[in-house]
């Protein structure tokens, strides 16, 4: 069973949509053997994360799984709670529900749905979800619930209505602000992208490939600007910006960045190893092995 204490062990944030089902099992078995506590899986246009986590959980015994994050526009809040509670019960508590409001270009452009105000929409969703009935054998404990939170208002909402926050594409300075905002008791599960290379050109190429799809998304741009970066920093992207949001260099350089997050108040850091070409089919095993807890 996943506990808040166990969650303090390092995790991995890594898509598996590029892997065949059998390959994803091999991947999970290997990161489980390395001692990582949680695998965070995103939701895009690939596998349904709840169905895939059910499959992965049935083939493992120790590692926990988190949606990082599930898009609230894709499911009725009651249906989300059914799925999360079912997974918590059938995985022996090895499930964390991460939810997010996604982005207007994705919700309106891809799903043809109206994108509403993020804070009020998430508040309504969480309130409805937690009041939804569940008519089956309950899990020993309810699944932990976190929300993707970047700005102060969403961070405050995470503290008010959930177990904590899951910031993405941020810095240790943001982690400190987030901890001060949500208070000492809530979970703060921070994602950190890493590139294990001491060659600056290689690291920057990997970073720019990773940033390409995110720089056009308003929620991330707004947060980066709150963090002190300019449109030029983001659009170029500049060395200053890359060095702030990507941990690269030696093993010790990356460990130091993770430690900065922990000192700033992170409960849990999930690392996302980047490849130069942005391909997640072949994991960066050298990085994952070197940074294993």
Q: Which residues pair with 240 in a beta bridge?
A: none
- Cβ contacts of residue 157 below 8 Å, gap of 6+? 119, 122, 123, 126, 147, 149
Q: Residue 109: which H helix or E strand, with range?
A: helix 104-109
- Give me the pLDDT at residue 276, please: 83
The verdict on residue 227 lying in a domain is: no
Q: How many domains does the chain have?
A: 1
The verdict on residue 90 lying in a domain is: yes
- Give me the pLDDT at residue 1, please: 75
Tens digit of pLDDT for each residue in 26-42?
999 999 999 999 999 99
Beta carbons of 174 and 227 less than 8 angstroms apart: yes
The verdict on residue 240 lying in a domain is: no
Closest CA to 189 of 37, 43, 1: 37
Mean pLDDT within 99-107: 95
- Give me the pLDDT at residue 214, please: 97
3-state helix, strand, coil in the chain (%, to 5): 45, 15, 40
- Give me the pLDDT at residue 9, please: 84
Going by pLDDT thresholds of 50, 70 and 90, the confidence category of residue 8 is: confident
Got the DSSP string for 273-286? EPPTT---SS--HH
The verdict on residue 216 lying in a domain is: no
Tens digit of pLDDT for each residue in 146-191?
999 999 999 999 999 999 999 999 999 999 999 999 999 999 999 9
- Give me the pLDDT at residue 2, please: 77
- Give me the pLDDT at residue 7, please: 80
Beta carbons of 177 and 159 less than 8 angstroms apart: no
The verdict on residue 148 lying in a domain is: yes
Residue 254 CA from chain centroid, whole number: 18
Tens digit of pLDDT for each residue in 207-252?
999 999 999 999 999 999 999 999 999 999 999 999 999 999 999 9
The verdict on residue 223 lying in a domain is: no
Q: Is residue 204 over pLDDT 80?
A: yes
Q: Is residue 91 over pLDDT 80?
A: yes
Lowest mean pLDDT among 3-12, 40-49, 99-108, 266-275: 3-12
Q: Is residue 4 over pLDDT 80?
A: no
- Give me the pLDDT at residue 277, please: 79
Q: What is the pTM of this model?
A: 0.97
**Cis, bond preceding 121 (omega within 30 deg of 0):** no
- CATH number for the domain harbouring residue 47: 3.20.20.30
Could you list the residue range(s) of the whole structural domain that residue 177 is in?
6-195+250-290
Q: Please give the radius of gyration of the chain, using alpha carbons only, rounded to the nearest integer.
A: 18
Percent of the residues in the chain that have a pLDDT greater than 70, as a whole number: 99
Strand extents, DSSP E, 148-213: 164-165, 187-196
Question: Mean pLDDT across the chain, nearest whole number?
Answer: 97
Number of H helices, E strands in the chain: 13, 10
Residue 9 CA from chain centroid, whole number: 15
Q: How far apart are CA 155 and CA 133, in angstroms?
A: 27
Query: Tell me, what DSSP letter sits at residue 142?
Result: P
Beta carbons of 7 and 37 less than 8 angstroms apart: yes
Q: How far apart are CA 43 and CA 59, in angstroms?
A: 21
Report the phi/psi class of residue 292: left, alpha or beta, with left for phi > 0 and alpha for psi in -120 to 50.
beta
Structure tokens at 194: 């890493």
Mean pLDDT within 83-100: 98
């Amino acid at each position: 069973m996943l506990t808040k204490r166990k969650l303090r062990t390092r995790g991995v944030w890594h898509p598996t949509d590029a892997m065949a089902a059998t390959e994803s099992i091999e991947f999970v078995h290997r990161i489980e053997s390395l001692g990582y506590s949680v695998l965070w899986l995103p939701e895009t246009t690939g596998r349904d994360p709840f169905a895939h986590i059910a499959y992965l959980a049935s083939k493992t015994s120790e590692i926990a799984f988190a949606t990082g994050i599930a898009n609230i526009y894709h499911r009725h809040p009651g249906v989300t709670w059914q799925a999360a509670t079912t997974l918590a019960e059938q995985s022996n508590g090895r499930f964390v529900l991460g939810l997010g409001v996604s982005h207007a270009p994705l919700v309106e452009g891809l799903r043809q749905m109206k994108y509403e105000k993020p804070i009020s929409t998430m508040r309504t969703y969480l309130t409805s979800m937690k009041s939804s009935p569940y008519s089956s054998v309950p899990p020993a404990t309810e699944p932990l619930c976190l929300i993707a939170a970047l700005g102060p208002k969403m961070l405050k909402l995470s503290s008010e209505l959930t177990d904590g926050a899951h910031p993405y594409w941020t810095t240790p300075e943001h982690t400190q602000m987030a901890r001060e905002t949500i208070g000492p008791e809530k979970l703060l599960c921070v994602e950190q992208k890493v590139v294990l290379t001491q060659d600056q050109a290689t690291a920057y190429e990997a970073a720019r490939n990773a940033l390409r799809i995110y720089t056009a998304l308003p929620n991330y741009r707004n947060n980066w600007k709150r963090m002190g970066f300019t449109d030029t920093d983001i659009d170029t992207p500049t060395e200053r910006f890359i060095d702030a949001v990507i941990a690269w260099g030696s093993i010790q350089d990356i460990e130091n960045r993770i430690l900065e997050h922990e000192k700033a108040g992170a409960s849990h850091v999930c690392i996302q190893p980047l490849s130069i070409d942005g391909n997640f089919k072949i994991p960066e095993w050298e990085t994952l092995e070197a940074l294993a807890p």
